[in-house]
Structure 1
């Protein structure tokens, strides 16, 4: 599969909570990270999703927010993946931040250059990737 999404996580469904319109899909990645995505019931059915099924979670880098100090902050975003800034590549307008997670995975974020300066993002420093559940696309291998 070739795709433009920079974040591709393989894992297994650990929980599936159904609602009248949408479902919440919890995935445990190979590195032990937990991701939560919300998708339609139609997608659950067409993909044949069930607990234990292997899936792929896709997230565009532009849908990843970066937080450097979350002390005392509660967020509605279901996915907060804490790690260390592995690489910071700055352009004149935007920057790419690569956050290494403890389980070995990497999260790519595309944010503004001003945000990297305001947040004090530095290679080797702590950072958390913040991803809304609605930004997680779930796929299965055929």
Structure 2
């Protein structure tokens, strides 16, 4: 019996999964149907999982791959951006080359009648719901800790407080690209747009969608710059704030809750 090699092609950014065959197929379905709910149904995945994948891709990409459209016969929907279509074409070429490589390697293994030991590099997967890409625009050093400011897409900024040892270990400098990671539970929402609070990170946006659970709910906030932030709130808080899609909100997150990572 001949040996055969199989593998899947994934494109990652700083050890964060960015694009794979499943996500590319999801993008194709969105492009064909103009609806994320129809695309999710075709992929046999939940509506929430589809949106989570789209948010992850949009936040990690240099430009949005998917955007909402308004108006039209159906009252709006979801569509691919030109950059999203370009990404699909690029991935298709890479996938074909990847398959050709695996086929050639399989032939080589069988010709040599040997065994190939495949070593997989262990990668760390981060549980933080929010992963935003930016570049360092300011480093304010203190005695022990430093304040690092990243500029995100659309001129939004986010500030992290990390140790000076971490600054040195990551070799952070002005213009260094880095990822800001933070949990959804660390994001506080308010409908008071004039709220005065000492929290370092303050983002204005609108509620894009709400995923209500039995106890807690996930609220996805679309920022003015094009990024999205996820916040976990109790259903009681959700009702008290009277949150609904399209409602303006302020998302707050302490600088000490932000973790920085490099590609």
How many Å separate the matches in 2 of 1:31 and 1:48?
Answer: 25
1:31 is paired with a residue whose SS is helix
Q: How far apart are 1:52 and its partner, in Å? A: 1.1
TM-score by length of 2: 0.52
How many Å separate the matches in 2 of 1:42 and 1:22?
Answer: 8
More strand by proportion, 1 or 2?
A: 1
The answer (yes or no) to whether the contact 2:191–2:248 under 8 Å persists in 1 is: yes
The answer (yes or no) to whether the contact 2:134–2:178 under 8 Å persists in 1 is: yes
- Which residue matches 2:150? 27
How many Å separate the matches in 1 of 2:148 and 2:141?
Answer: 9
Q: How far apart are 1:78 and its partner, in Å? A: 0.7
Given candidates 87, 90, 94, the residue that maps to 2:216 is 94
Gaps of 5+ in 1: none
How many Å separate the matches in 2 of 1:108 and 1:31?
Answer: 18
**1:42-121 correspondence to structure 2 within 5 Å:** 42-71=165-194, 73-121=195-243
- Which residue matches 1:39? 162
2:154 is paired with a residue whose SS is coil
1:81-120 CA-partner distances (Å, limit 9, x unpaired) = 0100000111121000000011111000011110011111
How many Å separate the matches in 1 of 2:138 and 2:163?
Answer: 15
Gaps of 5+ in 2: 1-14, 16-124
2:165 is paired with a residue whose SS is helix
Q: How many residues are treated as equivalent by the alignment? A: 140
Q: Determine which structure has greater relative contact order: mean sequence separation of CA pairs < 8 Å that are 6+ residues apart, divided by chain length.
A: 1
- Which residue matches 2:140? 17
Question: Could you say what the CA RMSD is over the residues aligned between the two structures, in angstroms?
Answer: 1.0
How many Å separate the matches in 2 of 1:30 and 1:118?
Answer: 31
Q: How far apart are 1:31 and its partner, in Å? A: 2.9
The answer (yes or no) to whether the contact 2:153–2:226 under 8 Å persists in 1 is: no
Q: How far apart are 1:61 and its partner, in Å? A: 0.5
